[in-house]
Amino acid sequence: MLIIAVIVIIFALVYLDDKLGRLILRNGRKKVVYPKRRSDMALYVNGRHLFADYFAELRRARDHIHILFYIIKHDETTAPFFQLLKEKAAEGVEVRLLTDWVGSLGLPKTLIRSLKASGVEFAYARPPRFPFFIYRLNRRNHRKITVIDGKVGYMGGFNIGREYSGKDANIGEWRDYHLKISGEGVHDLQEQFLHDWEEATGKTVADKRRYFPPLHAGAIRHQLVATDGAALEEQYIDAIRQAKREIMIGSPYFIPSRLLFDELMRAIRRGVRVTVIVPLRADHLFVREAAYPYFYQMLKAGARIYRFYQGFYHAKTIVVDEEWCDVGTANFDRRSLFLNGEINCYVFDRAFTQVVKRAIQRDLTRAEPLTLDFWRKRSLLDRGKESISQLISAWL
């Protein structure tokens, strides 16, 4: 009885910590809608291709390098990354490296000390603290941003480590979508990075003008939007409402809010063709099972659900009517909607949207359709996991 009482008390304290944290700290949650811009863009869906280009641009840096990743691994693939940052700092390039405290918890202290000793400025984003430790622990900085000399920027779904380059044999190919941006939009990536850096360090960056050189207007019209546990739900609902013919959604996790799911179901019922692609395998407990109840209702209504089997699918994208697309860091789940710091790029360009759509279509050729028959025949264990997943879906 004593053990049961202790467990009940612990769960009650965790629940109160989370609820009170949401209530008291939610005024600090916000969105930043940057101006509509014009930039040139390239889409990367393969880690080897992305990092070949990424490292080449880092080597060309002459003034500053600003990097934010949610996850930075310490393995044989990131050793050259850390060495390159040290070399650039030794050349006099200003290097700032920011990573999420939970996402990169495994980085050795000796590595961090060596980076700092080499002149690289390093900081963790959002280390948890009291009060509301559990709530703060859940609110991660999930953005991935790189800005080089204020002229070239990267953002999207890739983190940096062995698996993201497709070198983890247990995972296979890592499928993700990442943007390289040159043009006006780099200003907004820079602005967001500096905001996150100052939030993490508590220090104001001096002489910010040097980080914002004049930039050309590129060919692709787009808009960057940064969210911090608020407003993303409304943006996705608005996009779904505008759809007339087709919605394509790619996400490693599919755990929408009730309002967002209801809007998606309304789109299906009014004749919009909805296609969702998710990974076959799961990289976290319960996330796959948490999606099944939504998939069941969508399949009955006529949606198409596919599960990518050739590696792991981690892309975060939405395509609407071949006219508009979103590539960013936000998953189609409640954590991205209501907890994480995210940044998305909404692209209002038909030609580039078709590039993204073709990437999704290629991925669909390596995905299996989920059927109602499969759902009905799932095991008792899977049914039990679904029940548990529904209880904890807000934190998955």
pLDDT band of residue 285 (cuts 50, 70, 90) is: low
Tell me: the pLDDT tens digits for 312-354?
999 999 999 989 999 999 999 999 999 999 999 999 999 999 9
Q: Which of 66, 178, 222, 316 is catalytic?
A: 316
Residue of higher predicted confidence among 292 and 40 = 40
283 catalytic? Reply is no
Average of pLDDT values for 16-31? 65
Please check whether residue 160 is in contact with residue 71, taking contact to mean a CB–CB distance below 8 angstroms. Answer: yes
Q: What is the pLDDT of residue 136?
A: 85
pLDDT band of residue 29 (cuts 50, 70, 90) is: low
The tokens 């949650």 sit on which residue? 29
Give the residue among 236, 151, 226 at the shortest CA–CA distance from 196.
226
pLDDT band of residue 160 (cuts 50, 70, 90) is: very high
pLDDT band of residue 56 (cuts 50, 70, 90) is: very high
Please state the separation of Cα 158 from the chain's center in Å. Answer: 8
Q: Does the pLDDT of residue 384 top 70, yes or no? A: no
The tokens 């071949």 sit on which residue? 322
Count the residues in the chain. Answer: 396
Average of pLDDT values for 190-198? 98
Span of 42-51, 212-221, 281-290 with lowest mean pLDDT: 281-290
Q: Which of 66, 73, 88, 144 is catalytic?
A: 144
CB-facing half-sphere around the CA of 11: CA atoms within 13 A: 8
- Which structure tokens are listed for 250? 């790619």
Please check whether residue 143 is in contact with residue 192, taking contact to mean a CB–CB distance below 8 angstroms. Answer: yes
Give the residue among 161, 169, 182, 143 at the shortest CA–CA distance from 329.
143
Q: What is the pLDDT of residue 169?
A: 84
195 catalytic? Reply is no
Residue 153: how many other CB atoms lie within 10 Å: 27
Q: Does the pLDDT of residue 377 top 90, yes or no? A: no
* Phi, psi torsion values for 70, nearest 5 degrees: -70, -45
142 catalytic? Reply is yes
Residue of higher predicted confidence among 384 and 271 = 271
Crossing angle (nearest 10°) for helices 380-392 and 287-301 = 100
Q: What is the pLDDT of residue 376?
A: 72
Tell me: the pLDDT tens digits for 215-270?
999 999 999 999 999 899 999 999 999 999 999 999 999 999 999 999 999 999 99
Q: What is the pLDDT of residue 190?
A: 98
Q: Does the pLDDT of residue 28 top 70, yes or no? A: no
17 catalytic? Reply is no
Please check whether residue 294 is in contact with residue 254, taking contact to mean a CB–CB distance below 8 angstroms. Answer: yes
Average of pLDDT values for 170-190? 96
Average of pLDDT values for 279-296? 80
Q: Which of 18, 100, 149, 349 is catalytic?
A: 149
Across the chain, mean pLDDT equals 91
Residue 352: how many other CB atoms lie within 10 Å: 21
- Please tell me the pTM assigned to this model: 0.94
Is the preceding peptide bond at 131 cis, omega within 30 degrees of 0?
Answer: yes
pLDDT band of residue 9 (cuts 50, 70, 90) is: low
Give the amino acid at 22. R
Please check whether residue 147 is in contact with residue 194, taking contact to mean a CB–CB distance below 8 angstroms. Answer: no
Q: What is the pLDDT of residue 388?
A: 57
315: which DSSP letter?
-
Q: What is the pLDDT of residue 4?
A: 66
394: which DSSP letter?
G
Beta bridge partners of 65: 95, 148
Q: Which of 314, 326, 349, 385 is catalytic?
A: 314
H or E element: which one contains 300?
Answer: helix 287-301
Give the amino acid at 340. N
- Which structure tokens are listed for 153? 């920027």
